[in-house]
Structure 1
Amino acid sequence: MSSAEGWGPAILDWLLPDSWWLLLGLAMLLVVGAFVVAFVLLLYMISPLMSPKPLKLNGAHVVVTGGSSGIGKCIAMECYKQGAFITLVARDESKLVQAKKEVEKCAINDKQVVLCISVDVSKDYGQVESVIKQAQEKLGPVDMLVNCAGTSLSGKFEEMEVDCFKRLMEVNYLGSVYPTRAVVTTMKERRMGRIMFVSSQAGQIGLFGYTAYSPSKFALRGLAESLQMEMKPYNIYVTVAYPPDTDTPGFAEENKSKPLETRLISETSGVCQPEQVAKIVVKDAVQGNFNSSVGPDGYMLSALTCGMSPVTSITEGLQQILTMSLFRTIALFYLGSFDSIIRRCMIQREQSKGADKSE
């Protein structure tokens, strides 16, 4: 008998009696895999049943703070195109009148109305409550509130006036708290409503130069999460929009005093048009989505920073779980490039100072 003939039966005798556990393990893996696939498919099937019913804007009353320019005005125009009645709220009366004319051009029927109210939503809650009451008396209960009033200042932490921190928190945070507080009681009574907070990508990640601005936008996230937990039983859904740099008058004004480091970091992503942002955030608010992001960078940031924020559908939750590891890896490269930009600027500034002293 050859050596091959001798080894063959021996190998079979060794494998067959002792390999049953391998087969059992393989079978268990197949069962678990099949269960996971079936579970995921089931979630996709029932997800639409768990999502809120979309809000119909045709005939709805939409209040937009900060609606005289920029993203706020474009949101008002987008809602008007879908048949809504609009109340524009801002401080500057002349800008409000101009914005009203632009919004009215988007009408789809002759019954629609644009109401303008001049008030500073960050100063006196009693005054804000009064003007919201006036708007509801004229156009009916508020179906959707868009908190878009805000401002931005950038600069190095130690170089900014202390009052800037207070002012930005008043405008960007309290300027959203007051109008929201004025509409929630009626929304709860009616068991319906949408509330949108327009934050910023700087409200998801703290960046060089935004030590005053970012905290005021981060605060909106905490407000929105807490408020959503309170409002959800009443069929009221909260949306936080995180637009990127957008081509608005406010952005142009901010660029005049923006530190070099901040500007270089901002340039790593593009500048969006306000009309594009408005379409996306209005769609998300109507659907009742908690997070509203714009573009690939925005989607990645929303997935990375989702934390304990609510989800509108199980599909959204699964996407966040599956993409978290990849997006975190990409984010580390971004953070590394931001640190590199800041170091280069610091070295160049020190070299420039050294050259001036030598002269």
Structure 2
Amino acid sequence: MQLTSTTLLALAIPPIFLAAMPFFGKSKLNPKGKHCYVTGGSTGLGLYLAILLVKKGAHVSIVARNEERLQKALEELEKARQTPDQVLRTYSYDLFDPAASAAAFDAACKEHDGKTPYAVFLCAGAARPGFFIEQDAASLQKGMDNGYWVQAYSALHATKKMVQQRSPGKIVFVSSLVGYMSIIGYSSYTPAKHALRGLAETLRSELSLYDISVHIFFPGTIYSPGLEEENKTKPKITLKIEEDDGGAKPEQVAAALYNGVEKGHFHITVDLIGELFRSSTRGSTPHNNVFLDIFYGLIGWIALAIWRRGVDGMVAKHRKEHEAYLVERNIRPEST
């Protein structure tokens, strides 16, 4: 698409008014009595989001691989049940496989006369941090499987079914704060989260043809079993950079996600740090609040530059320790 100077000038005349009027109308979230589908729903964010949806009166289907954790999750959903007729189901499928992703979705729809869900929340995913020098082709591919394909396959099948049935709905991706930026240690994880943003940006435009709204979530640190697994392989320097990151409990993060979709936000964050990164890397993404976004953008222009300089300084100081790490693991010969 070619933009001439005249076109740009015309677009720039009323910038605040244009920014305040999203190209697509905002859609509210009202799950009471409706079917919601949650992947990665056995632990962490997915589980607490599923519980919240049950409390809002939704019929909820959760999908994960571990059947034991799914059973425990179902017990938690039952505790949150609001009415006897709520349909609460669990499904054990490997969502890294496209055929299994389709089968899981179809199985959940079958419980509702084959109708597609009102909202699809794609919370499945995992991270295995480490230095890029220690990765191989298999681990890089696994990073994309864990962070991108595990959601993209489900989104693709859900979209096809929604379009076939002429069913309006919602598709919600879960990226990460590193979908806006990144730091040392996340080379196998960050690319997938940026890819999710690219997919969501495209689908927000395209799926408006079918009255399907698209949203994407960028949480920071979540205190969950997933974080415990991440920290087992996370480099010391990455842990050092993140040590002042307060993080949030999964129920707080689930509430932030729910509230963002309820408000019709496309990009959804949890806290001030997330808002600063969102506003500073927004591109053509619609404003959540034009005046606050301008304010956040001004703060981010200064604060994030200072933050990045601090991170770069920490990495530079880590150089000697990292040299010893490489020698210890026979990645680099000891200097003479």
Q: Give TM-score scaled by structure 1 length.
A: 0.81
Check whether the contact 1:194–1:285 (CA below 8 A) recurs between aligned residues: no
2:9 alignment counterpart: none
Query: Residue 145 of structure 1: CA displacement?
Result: 0.6
Q: 1:337 aligns with which of 302, 310, 313?
A: 310
Instruction: Give the 3-state SS of the residue equivalent to 2:258 in structure 1.
Output: helix
1:266 to 219, 236, 242: 242
**Structure 1 counterpart of 2:185:** 209
SS of the residue 2:149 aligns to = helix
1:233 is aligned, of 205, 209, 216, to: 209
CA contact (8 A) 2:63 2:104 kept: no
Are 1:252 and 2:252 matched, yes or no? no
Partner of 1:165: 140
Deviations 1:92-139 (A, max 9, x none): 11111111111111111111121111111111x223212211211203
Name 2:35's counterpart in structure 1: 61
Deviations 1:7-45 (A, max 9, x none): xxxxxxxxxxxxxxxxxxxxxxxxxxxx98xx96x779x
Deviation digits for residues 184-212 of structure 1 (CA, Å, limit 9, x no counterpart):
13333435211111111111112100011
Q: SS in structure 2 opposite 1:308?
A: coil
Taking the aligned partners of 1:190 and 1:276, their CA distance within structure 2 comes to 34
Measured against aligned partners, the alpha-carbon deviations of 1:313-339 in whole angstroms (never above 9, x if no partner) come to: 6x6345434542331211100001101
Q: Superposed, which structure 2 residues align to 1:27-176 within 5 Å?
A: 51-123=25-97, 125-139=98-112, 140-176=115-151
CA distance in 1, matches of 2:24, 2:80: 33
C-alpha offsets along residues 137-194 of structure 1, whole Å, 9 cap, x if unaligned? 2034211111111110111101123311101201221111111111113333435211
Q: 1:117 to 1:333 in 2, by over 3 A?
A: same
1-structure distance, mates of 2:149, 2:183: 22
Deviates more, 1:251-260 or 1:322-331: 322-331
**Cα deviation 1:254-280 (Å, max 9, x = unaligned):** 112211111111123212100000001
**Aligned-partner Cα distance in 1 for 2:181–2:48:** 25
Q: Say whether 1:301 aligns with 2:277.
A: yes
What is the aligned-residue identity percentage?
Answer: 29
Q: In the TM superposition, what is the alpha-carbon distance from 1:233 to its structure 2 partner?
A: 3.0
Larger radius of gyration: 1
Could you tell me which amino acid in structure 2 is paired with residue 301 of structure 1?
A: F
| Unmatched tracts of structure 2, length 5 or more | 1-12, 328-333
Contact 2:27 2:213 in 1 (8 A): no
CA distance in 2, matches of 1:202, 1:157: 16
Q: Distance in 2 between matches of 1:131 and 1:337?
A: 45
> What secondary structure sits across from 2:29 in the alignment?
coil
Q: What CA distance in whole angstroms lies between the structure 2 residues aligned with 1:352 and 1:237?
A: 47
| Count of residues paired in the alignment | 314
The answer to whether the 8 A contact 2:43-2:225 is kept is yes
Q: Is the alpha carbon distance of 1:174 and 1:48 closer, same or farther for their aligned partners in structure 2, counting shifts above 3 Å?
A: closer
Cα separation, partners in 2 of 1:48 and 1:178, compared to 1, 3 Å: closer
| Partner SS state of residue 234, structure 2 | coil
Q: Please say if 1:242 is aligned against 2:218.
A: yes
CA 1:161–1:74 in structure 2 vs 1: closer, same or farther (change >3 Å)? Answer: same
Asked whether the 8 Å contact 2:241–2:314 carries over to 1, the reply is yes
Change over 3 Å in CA distance of 1:340–1:72 after alignment to 2: same
Note if contact 1:238-1:285 (Cα within 8 Å) is conserved in structure 2.
no
Tell me which residue corresponds to 1:325: 298
Alpha-carbon distance between aligned partners in 1 of 2:194 and 2:262, rounded to the nearest angstrom: 23
Matched AA of 2:66 = D
Answer whether contact 2:116 2:167 (CA < 8 A) is retained: no
Structure 1 portions without partners, runs of 5+ = 1-34
Q: RMSD of the TM alignment (CA)?
A: 2.6
Which residue of the partner structure matches residue 11 of structure 1?
none
Q: 1:110 to 1:260 in 2, by over 3 A?
A: same
Which protein has the bigger helix share?
A: 1
Question: CA, structure 1 residues 100+316, in 2 after alignment: closer, same or farther (shift >3 Å)?
Answer: same
**One-letter amino acid matched to 1:112:** Q
Q: Deviation digits for residues 195-230 of structure 1, max 9, x if unmatched?
A: 111111111112100011100111100000011111
